[in-house]
Structure 1
């Protein structure tokens, strides 16, 4: 069974999977539908992705806007990342708040992010592999982001490797959010 821990962002959970190991290697369950349903989390995954990043790479801060917005689940399968979430839902008690979590192959931690949160990370080791599940199909016209260095977060890098797309994202202070907080459906 997977343990979960709420964070200071409503609807965002740390997922603690059990990492079973023996001389052959490890086995980790990253999703358990009954547990997600018990917590009121979405299980209607539409796409899955995998990325690898060299040490010092920052990816983010990404999200999709309505009507293509999505909840997201992420795990680090190889290496280690400092994963960062920002609440973009106006009216949320955590609006604009950024939180960071160390995810690694060894610690078995993942994150569940509700719609209306931006997501990114910095790779702390070479070949850090991230696995993502999302509840909507990629929609290029709704695929947006905010500048990684415009949020209130103490990143452990000053001059990361960035994609041209990530380097061009607007600052959080210049972003007009399309997301509104719904206390009843905070995890959606």
Structure 2
């Protein structure tokens, strides 16, 4: 697995080795020794899978301290435009929103440090996303910001949203509890 830096400290594009033959494809999304070598977290506590129809936006989600988490995501079916926003006060990328195309075809994933909001829009008829997180879901600490309140040019104007996602505060109204620490950027 190779990683590429992004414009958000501690956030990386993960390029897994994608093997294909007449049977289909195979990809390894996680390898403890490689993550440790790269200085990334390996203390995963939960895993999730979501399926989304074309035009669905999920996000922008995160968990608040003390149960904030690092996250790793891969698109296993279909294609998504995955979006990350840095919510860490003092970060050189505070408020920066970046998008990455993840698909079953390109084998790319993302590693997000704590203090980043995450979301995506499904660009295919059926997109399956796989997530790993470093904390157990705590409903009372589950949070988000409005998908359309960030400085990002989404390819949809009227997406399908959950009721929960419709109620998130705007980015400008969110008082972040996250603080950037350069020494711990990937955590």
Structure-2-length-normalised TM-score:
0.99
Question: What secondary structure, in the 3-state scheme, does the structure 1 residue paired with 2:34 have?
Answer: helix
The answer to whether residue 44 in structure 2 is matched with residue 45 in structure 1 is: yes
CA RMSD of aligned residues (A): 0.4
Correspondence for 2:20: 21
| 1:18 Cα deviation from its structure 2 partner | 1.1
Name the CA distance, whole Å, in 2 between partners of 1:28 and 1:39. 19
Correspondence for 2:73: 74
| 1:106 Cα deviation from its structure 2 partner | 0.4
Name the CA distance, whole Å, in 2 between partners of 1:102 and 1:177. 27
Question: What secondary structure, in the 3-state scheme, does the structure 1 residue paired with 2:7 have?
Answer: coil
Name the CA distance, whole Å, in 1 between partners of 2:163 and 2:157. 17
Q: Which runs of 5+ in 2 are unaligned?
A: none
Name the CA distance, whole Å, in 1 between partners of 2:173 and 2:104. 36
Q: Which runs of 5+ in 1 are unaligned?
A: none
| 1:42 Cα deviation from its structure 2 partner | 0.4
Question: What secondary structure, in the 3-state scheme, does the structure 1 residue paired with 2:140 have?
Answer: helix
Question: What secondary structure, in the 3-state scheme, does the structure 2 residue paired with 1:37 have?
Answer: helix
Question: What secondary structure, in the 3-state scheme, does the structure 2 residue paired with 1:38 have?
Answer: helix
Correspondence for 1:63: 62
| 1:57 Cα deviation from its structure 2 partner | 0.1
Question: What secondary structure, in the 3-state scheme, does the structure 2 residue paired with 1:9 have?
Answer: coil
**1:1-188, aligned counterparts within 5 Å?**
2-188=1-187
| 1:96 Cα deviation from its structure 2 partner | 0.2
Runs of 4+ in 1 over 2 A off after TM superposition: none
- Per-residue CA deviation, residues 34-72 of structure 1 (Å, 9 max, x unaligned), is 111111110000000000000000000000000010000
Tell me how many residue pairs correspond in the alignment: 187
Name the CA distance, whole Å, in 2 between partners of 1:182 and 1:61. 22
Question: What secondary structure, in the 3-state scheme, does the structure 1 residue paired with 2:164 have?
Answer: helix
Question: What secondary structure, in the 3-state scheme, does the structure 2 residue paired with 1:118 have?
Answer: strand
Higher mean displacement: 31-40 or 67-76: 31-40
Name the CA distance, whole Å, in 2 between partners of 1:184 and 1:21. 38
Name the CA distance, whole Å, in 2 between partners of 1:51 and 1:171. 24
Name the CA distance, whole Å, in 1 between partners of 2:139 and 2:67. 10
Name the CA distance, whole Å, in 2 between partners of 1:175 and 1:39. 32
